[in-house]
Structure 1
Amino acid sequence: MLAEFAGRPELADEMTGQLLDAFRRLVADDPVTMPGAPQLVAKAAVFAPLAVASNCPRDVVEDGLAKAGLLRYFGHVLVPEGDVRPKPYPDVYLEAARLCGAAPGDALAVEDSHCGFLSASRAGLRVLGVGPRKPVDEPPPVDVWVSTLADPDLVKWADSRAA
């Protein structure tokens, strides 16, 4: 998209490679997690199978989760490959639910991007939207919105399920 916006579509592959290389370096140096994410993931793993559905390359996702100490909680890492199309298509979420043994309507997606909201919603999952503020110009298709994964009500919910 950047290459097209810049009027240089022939640079798309080169720009994609440069962006992924820069992202890999950032993750290698300091895999930042959202506030509350490590605690919520650890609690959720007690009562539900967990999967990651991402548009990032597998190595980026797995390396970032491993460096953040979270990979062990996830039974599956889904990325666009083979017949699985990228978000906003529902494929990664449908496959994640299937691998976790859950019907899509019984699964919960935690998302922070519009593309992810659409993907999870189209797959029929319940969607927990996360971010400092809910977009107002184009409200996302989410069931619940929290500004942080450390939200007290969300933590209370996870604690009650883990117990």
Structure 2
Amino acid sequence: MGIAAVVFDMDGVLIDSESVWEQVRHEYVDLKGGRWQPDSQVKMMGMSTVEWSAYLADDLGVAEPADQVAADVIDLMADKYAHHVPLLPGAVEAVRRCAESWQLGLASSSPATLIDLVLAKSGLIDAFAAVLSTEEVGRGKPAPDVYLTVAQRLGVDPKDCTAVEDSTNGLRSAHAAGMRLIAAPRPDFPPSREALALADVVIDGVDQLTTEVVTG
């Protein structure tokens, strides 16, 4: 029946936020006496809030309970976004363009409070028929849970959806859900070659997301 919906990731697709997450988490780990590792941010890309807060506490040695870690880091991120939402070039236009032809969903690893803040400040809160954080489902990316649930809420079969992703775990998640997959990798946090190979098409950025790219 063709493509019925487009499902976007948020971090790294609509906003250039991975470096912000890395800065905030790195500074927090240092402040709390933990041990930041060179690959820590890459490992956390796609993790749910429960998963990455436990990683900071258990693996990186932050001397706080995981729920406190989550609350602290989310507050720090919200403060960053309150001052500036780092929208990627063409992101708003790409969302509006897709909304003219399809239902839209958002499947993000960010907590719901940050998703709502970003969408409100970018003027996109009305564009998405289904918005979901991995903290609201059983498992974070690369598990397909968040994409499957968004498709369910949109009332469409996952195979009739196109997903737009950037990270290794995100690409694996959308592919596991059975969606047509567009990769928009970020050069500063590139996905693995194996994950990138799962994509039906690769674009340099969300500004290249046209009707023809979505439908193939």
TM bucket by the smaller chain?
A: 0.7 to 0.9
**1:31–1:64 CA contact under 8 A, matched in 2:** yes
Higher relative contact order (CA 8 A, sep 6+): 2
* Paired residue secondary structure (2:182): strand
Gaps of 5+ in 2: 1-54
Structure 1 position 155 matched with structure 2 position 210: yes
1:37-93 deviation digits (Å, cap 9, x = unpaired): 111100111111111111222121011111001111011111235554322221111
* Aligned counterpart, 1:78: 132
CA distance in 2, matches of 1:88, 1:36: 26
Contact 1:40-1:149 within 8 A present in 2 as well: yes
CA distance in 2, matches of 1:42, 1:144: 21
How is 1:97-116 mapped onto 2 (pairs within 5 angstroms)?
97-116=151-170
- Whether contact under 8 Å (1:32, 1:68) holds in the other structure is no
1:5 aligns with 2:63: no
Superposed CA RMSD in Å reads: 2.5
DSSP 3-state at the match of 1:47:
coil
Letter of the aligned partner of 1:143 in structure 2?
D
Structure 1: where are the runs of 5+ without partners?
none
Equivalent residue for 1:94? 148
Any residues of structure 2 matched to 1:32-43 within 5 Å, and which? 32-43=86-97
Match of 2:15 in 1: none
Task: Provide, for residues 86-111 of structure 1, a one-character-per-residue CA deviation record: whole Å limited to 9, x for no partner.
Answer: 22221111111122222111101111
> 1:26: Cα distance to partner?
1.3
Contact 2:168 2:192 in 1 (8 A): no
**Alpha-carbon distance in 2 for matches of 1:124, 1:156:** 20
Q: More deviation in 96-105 or 116-125? A: 96-105
Cα deviation for residue 8 of structure 1 reads 4.5
C-alpha separation in 1, matches of 2:135 and 2:59: 26
- Match for 1:49 among 81, 89, 103? 103
Provide TM-score, normalisation by structure 2.
0.64
Aligned residues: 158
